[in-house]
Amino acid sequence: MGYSRRMEGLAPAAATESPAVALFDLDGTLTWHDTLVPYLAGYLASRPRLWWRTLRLPPALLAYAITRDRGRLKSALIRALLGGERRRELDAWTQRFVKRLRDRGGLRTAGLETLARHRACGDRLVLLSASPDLYVPQIGESLGFDWVLCTGVAWDGDRLEGHLTTANRRGEEKVRCLEAVRLRYPGLPVAAYGNSSSDLPHLRLTERPLFVNGSRRSRRRAVAGGIPCDDWC
């Protein structure tokens, strides 16, 4: 099944009843780590002429230290490091980034096995991520998801502008996204997977939640809320 033996709480979400919706988080759930920073750093690494843009980072980090607004920080990082870049160059990098993520062990085996199990059952596969639509839709397509919900970023014609065009798909915003999923797939139970304490609000509202790879503190919160926990390798 791809699960470890460190289950806590209730029985794990399972792809044994169909049809259903399988709702997956990306960073830390299907992947081992965050994806945005490697995406930004990888693009700069291939273009040394752009490294001067890192001088723009301190104001963005200082603003985050004051506001704790992750959406604002995300937009600031994207604008600082990628603002003004052409779509064709970013699209080419995205293709390499997604291939590298899959080919170099960036995805958790247990996550992929769980995804495959849901697919075999004929479930609808939905990827819900706070990461930006610079690359999340391409990851979703490569993994065979039916629908991808992620944070949108703005373009100015053919060049990246970088401000967010949607709310940051995190925390309570994922609750609103879950409502959209239910409208799109009415009557289907939802099996949901997440790894962050910010995923707990929408996981609590699903029929088959599973909290994976969480910190000790967030696992305690999940179990207290009736959500089973596991570690995926």
> How far is residue 229's CA from residue 9's CA, in Å, rounded to a whole number?
6
Strand partners, 151: 132
Which of 117, 136, 125, 108 has its CA nearest to residue 23? 125
In a domain, 99, yes or no: yes
Q: Where are the alpha helices (DSSP H) in the chain?
A: 36-45, 57-67, 70-82, 87-103, 109-120, 136-142, 172-184, 200-203, 216-224
- Give the percent of the chain with pLDDT over 70: 92
CB 181 within 8 A of CB 190: yes
Does 6 map to a domain?
A: no
Which domain covers residue 137, as residue numbers?
21-230
- Flag whether pLDDT at 111 surpasses 50: yes
3-state SS class at 30:
coil
What integer best gives the mean pLDDT of the chain? 93
Overall pTM surpassing 0.85 (yes/no):
yes
Cα-trace Rg, the chain: 18
Q: Determine the average pLDDT of the residues in 216-233.
A: 95
Q: Is the pLDDT of residue 160 over 90?
A: yes
Cα–Cα distance list, 70 to 48, 128, 163 (Å): 27, 17, 13
Cβ–Cβ under 8 Å, residues 115 and 212? no
β-strand pairing of 229-230 with 208-212: parallel
Question: What integer pLDDT is reported at residue 18 of this predicted model?
Answer: 64
Q: What CATH number is attached to the domain comprising 84? A: 3.40.50.1000
Residue 69: inside a domain, yes or no?
Answer: yes
Please give the backbone phi and psi of residue 193, each rounded to the nearest 5 degrees, phi first: -130, 130
Quote the pLDDT of residue 2: 40
User: Element (H or E) spanning 105, and its range?
Assistant: none
pLDDT tens digits, 163-188: 999 999 999 999 999 999 999 999 99
Q: What is the mean pLDDT of residues 31-46?
A: 96
128 domain-assigned: yes
**What is the number of domains present in the chain?**
1
- DSSP assignment of 157-222: TTEEEEEESS--SSTHHHHHHHHHHHHHSTT--EEEEE-SGGGHHHHTTSSEEEEES--HHHHHHH
Question: Distance between CA 70 and CA 104 in Å, rounded?
Answer: 28
Has residue 15 been placed in a domain? Answer: no
User: Rounded to the nearest 5 degrees, what angle is found at the Cα of 194, between the Cα atoms of 149 and 34?
Assistant: 75
Write down the pLDDT at residue 39: 98
Tell me which residue of 114, 94, 104 sits closest to 25, measured CA to CA.
114
Q: Calculate mean pLDDT across residues 64-93.
A: 96
pLDDT at 17: 58
Q: Is residue 33 a part of any domain in this protein?
A: yes
The pLDDT score that the predictor gives to residue 59 is: 92
